[in-house]
Structure 1
Amino acid sequence: MSSQQKALVLLKKQGSFELGSRSIPSPGAGQLLVKIQSAALNPVDYKIKDAGIFVTQYPAVLGSDVAGIVEEVGEGVENFGKGDRVLARGKFTSDFAAFQQYTLTDASFTAKIPASESFDSAATLPMGLDTAVVGLYGDQFGARITPPWEEGAGSHESKKPIVILGGSSSVGAYTIQLARLSGFYPIITTASPSNEELVKGYGATHFFDRKLSGKQLLAAISDVTDDPIKLVYDAISLPETQSVAWELLAENGTLVLTLPASVEENERKGRRVIQTFAGTDAAQNEELYSSSWAMVEKWLSDGTIKPNKYEVLPNGLEGIIGGLERMKLGQVSGTKLVAHPQETR
């Protein structure tokens, strides 16, 4: 194996992407070296490029969703071997990023891909699922719901309503599925009408058009349930969706956001607003991730969690540039974009 690999490199803060080469890193204790077959794109990738957030060292390689084949196993790793098909969560550190041909992964943020799933489908999971997990179950960065893998968890949320804004997004899709596992009912979501069947396939029991105002949506939900809405997960979290969420949320309820809050403190009336943070290095998430990543292979194998729909981009790593631009312009709906680094020319 060559010591060099192709990578899509962000040359400087708020700079441009360029196809280049960099050294293939070696795994340390508790780590794996993975030959990346599929790398999925996330909105945070173009936000890092445009706003210069999260990444501190340049040139930088981005990308958080990895699926590939284990090439080397670091010291102390017992559950993985060379040749295993795996999915993994990347980091905002170049050696652990997805937009290259080889990457390091932490064994604790890696799971085997069952035979029923492809590299492409598996690559849609890591960041979206992690964000849904922390937003629902996190103690500091979430709604503090008892996770479904804990004994007797279902009884805590059984027959309580939940509203998920943006159900066809990657985070929204996994939040719907986890809400189903946690026993919520009804599971109410918003999306474009073209994605109604998609979100119902994930487990949403009721669908409404994302263009409804807060008052219109509240009126429609009142025909579905008489119970107060104590939990809203806004997977989009733009000011306009936060405004809708605020209209829906009952007193003493919790609003989970993926972006900073734009609602006013003095409007809260006992309501809790949480900006979730799915950082892999956040100590507050460590125990939660340890439990959730241990479930990923089983969830995929038995169909408990369905991956996102996906579209494969052409031209390997170079295709990522156009894919991120499409995402930024709002031209991608209900679909995860996936690149094949090994097809880079």
Structure 2
Amino acid sequence: MSLQQKALVLPKKQGNFEVSSLSIPSPGPGQLLVKIQSAALNPVDYKIKDYGLFVTHYPAVLGGDIAGVVEELGEGVENFRKGDRVLAHGAFTNDLAGFQQYALTVASFTAKIPPSLSFDNAATVPLALDTALVGLYGKEYGAGLTPPWTKSAGDHESKKPIVILGGSSSVGAYTIQLARLSGFYPIITTASHSNEDLVKGFGATHFFDRNLSGQQLKAAISKVTDSPIELVYDAISLPETQSVGLELLAENGTLVLTLPPSVKEDEGKGRKIAPTFASPHVPQNDELCRSSWSMVEKWLSEGTIQPNKHEVLPNGLEGIIGGLERMKMGQISGTKLVAHPQETQ
């Protein structure tokens, strides 16, 4: 194997992406070296480029969604073998990022891909699933619900309503599926009309147009349920959707956000705002994500969690540049963009 690989690199803060050559890393204890077949794109990738968020060392490799083949095992890794098809949640660290031909993954946040799924299917899962999951079940970065796959879980969310704003987004789609797993009912979501069938396929029981105002949506929801809305997951989290989410929320309810809050908690009503941060690599999420990642292969195999719809970008790593631009321009809806690093010229 060559000691060098191709990677899409951000050479400096708020610079422009370029394909470069980097060394292939070696796995340390508890790590795998993965030959990346598919890497999915996320909005955070263009936000890091444009605003200089999260990353402190340059040149930087981005990309949180990894699917590929195990090439080498680090010390102490027992559940994987060379040649296994795997998916993993990367990190904002060059050796563990997805926009390159080889990356290290942490075994605890890596799962085998069931035979029924392609690398492209699998690459759509890690970051968005973890964002949905930490937002719902994280104690520090979420609503702190009891995870439905743990022994202590009853069906205590059963017959409680949940509202998910932006159900056709990657995060929204996984939030719908986890809400179904937790026993929420009704599962109410907003999206564009063209994505109504998509969100209902994931498990939404009621759909409303994303362009309704807060008052209109509140009135529509009141015809579906007279139970208080104690949980709103805003998978879009723009200022306008955050305002809608807060308007829907009952006293002592929680509004989960995927971006920093532009609305303020209402102390008088005890409403909580929970901006989520979904990296499994931070200590606050470690226990939850170790527990959930042990379930990922089973969920995917049984169809409990269905991957996003996807579109494959041409030209390997080069294709990511145009893909991120399309995401930024709002030209992608209900679809995850996936690149094939091995096809880089």
Q: Residue in 1 aligned with 2:41?
A: 41
- The one-character-per-residue Cα deviations of 1:29-76 (angstroms, maximum 9, x if unpaired) are 100000000000000000000000111110010000000000000010
- The one-character-per-residue Cα deviations of 1:105-160 (angstroms, maximum 9, x if unpaired) are 00001000000000000000000000111000011111111101023624210000
- The one-character-per-residue Cα deviations of 1:201-237 (angstroms, maximum 9, x if unpaired) are 0000000000000000000001100101000000000
The Cα of 1:267 is off from its aligned counterpart by: 6.7
The Cα of 1:327 is off from its aligned counterpart by: 0.3
Q: Residue in 1 aligned with 2:242?
A: 242
Unaligned segments of structure 2, at least 5 residues: none
- 1:1-345 matched pairs, under 5 angstroms: 1-151=1-151, 153-266=153-266, 269-345=269-345
Helix, strand or coil at the partner of 2:256:
strand
| TM-score, with structure 2 as normaliser | 0.99
Contact 2:146 2:152 in 1 (8 A): no
Paired with 2:310 and 2:42, the residues of 1 have a C-alpha distance of: 12
Number of residue pairs aligned between Structure 1 and Structure 2 = 345
Paired residue type of 1:63: G
Helix, strand or coil at the partner of 1:86:
strand
Paired with 1:150 and 1:268, the residues of 2 have a C-alpha distance of: 34
Paired with 1:180 and 1:89, the residues of 2 have a C-alpha distance of: 23
Paired with 1:140 and 1:117, the residues of 2 have a C-alpha distance of: 33
Paired with 1:109 and 1:62, the residues of 2 have a C-alpha distance of: 17
The Cα of 1:266 is off from its aligned counterpart by: 4.6
**% identity of equivalent residues:** 79
Paired residue type of 1:216: Q
Paired with 1:240 and 1:173, the residues of 2 have a C-alpha distance of: 20
Paired with 2:266 and 2:192, the residues of 1 have a C-alpha distance of: 32
Residue 272 and residue 88 in structure 1: after superposition, are their counterparts in 2 closer, same or farther (change >3 A)? same
Paired residue type of 2:312: V
Contact 2:69 2:83 in 1 (8 A): yes
Paired with 2:174 and 2:235, the residues of 1 have a C-alpha distance of: 10
Contact 2:265 2:271 in 1 (8 A): no
The Cα of 1:19 is off from its aligned counterpart by: 0.8
- The one-character-per-residue Cα deviations of 1:150-208 (angstroms, maximum 9, x if unpaired) are 23624210000000000001110000000000000000000010000000000000000
Paired with 1:51 and 1:148, the residues of 2 have a C-alpha distance of: 36
Contact 1:140 1:284 in 2 (8 A): yes
Residue 18 and residue 178 in structure 1: after superposition, are their counterparts in 2 closer, same or farther (change >3 A)? same
The Cα of 1:265 is off from its aligned counterpart by: 3.8
What is the root-mean-square deviation in Å for CA atoms of aligned residues? Answer: 0.9
Runs of 4+ aligned structure 1 residues displaced above 3 Å come to 265-268
Paired with 2:331 and 2:79, the residues of 1 have a C-alpha distance of: 40
Contact 1:36 1:341 in 2 (8 A): yes
Paired with 2:114 and 2:169, the residues of 1 have a C-alpha distance of: 24
Contact 2:134 2:285 in 1 (8 A): yes
Paired residue type of 1:9: V
Paired with 2:110 and 2:294, the residues of 1 have a C-alpha distance of: 9
Paired with 2:185 and 2:229, the residues of 1 have a C-alpha distance of: 11
| TM-score, with structure 1 as normaliser | 0.99
